[in-house]
Amino acid sequence: MRITRPDWIAREKAHQERADALTADHRDRASRSEKHPVWDFLFTYYSYKPAQLRRWHPGAGIELADAVERLDWRWYSPGRSDDGAVPDAAAFAADKPELAALVERMLRRTASRPGQFGCFGLHEWAMVYRAEEHRHAVPLRLGRAGTDAVVESHDLRCTHFDAFRFFTPDAVPRNRTMLTREEQPLFEQPGCLHAGMDLYKWATKLGPLIPGELLLDTFELARDIRLLDMQAAPYDLSAWEITPVPIETAEGKAEYVRRQRVFADRGAALRTALLSAWLGESARSAA
């Protein structure tokens, strides 16, 4: 497929406008050195800056006409015409073979499993269990004793290593599974909020191989999941007008699972779209 310069310039402009709208509040806070316990995570943990987010690419194998300037960009190769440039999946795989293999393995294996919906977001509670200090400089909604009691009255079922690795020492043995980095692809499953958020991470890792529009779709999913993740957390975020989802109650659990299932469905569609955009038509049937 080949996109004429006027067409891809128009898509690039639309992408930049959408990206700017998505990051406007963060950029405004950053200009005042103002921190936010919920939204800063999208730009610190994933370490992808607003300027990077607004950079548009057509996706792997899509040629941009009259785009020789793109040949100076990473993982772009000459197209079929003298003036064309195309994001090159083979060049990426040759340059980053281990990363390419990891991303494909994580996407495919996660997609192959049924979602699990019984964790109730307790990973955030496990991160502060019996701890004098915790990661966010905000008070605990139920206090320390109340927070510890919630952990002790529930079964910890975290399947995501990058949440598990922040558990306090006392919380680690309470988890149903001892997770490791090496075994992460064996346990990642599509019901996990963080597996859904990480679709944005994988999209950023693939860079120009992912269409800009799809990148922003994954960012929007990560943003929406982040809100629930922190609403269900043990923190009192009322100063930031964040309404809690009290997972220590039956009503809170039901709301959490209902929204978790919606995110899992959105994530499944985006997971397939990432594989298709990156690896082509064959990925659709294999995902």
pLDDT in tens, the chain (287 residues): 999 999 999 999 999 999 999 999 999 999 999 999 999 999 999 989 999 999 999 999 999 999 999 999 999 999 988 899 999 999 999 999 999 999 999 999 999 999 999 999 999 999 999 998 777 779 999 999 999 999 999 999 999 999 999 999 999 999 999 999 999 999 999 999 999 999 999 999 999 999 999 999 999 999 999 999 999 999 999 999 999 999 999 999 999 999 999 999 999 999 999 999 999 844 433 33
Residue 199 CB neighbours (<10 A): 28
The Cα 187–Cα 212 span in angstroms is: 29
* Cα 232 off chain centre by: 18
- Residue ranges of the alpha helices (H) in 32-180? 41-44, 50-53, 89-95, 97-111, 123-126, 143-152, 161-164
Instruction: Please state whether the predicted TM-score (pTM) of the whole model is above 0.75.
Output: yes
The Cα 133–Cα 180 span in angstroms is: 25
End-to-end CA distance of the chain: 23
In the chain, where are the structural domains located? 2-117+184-286
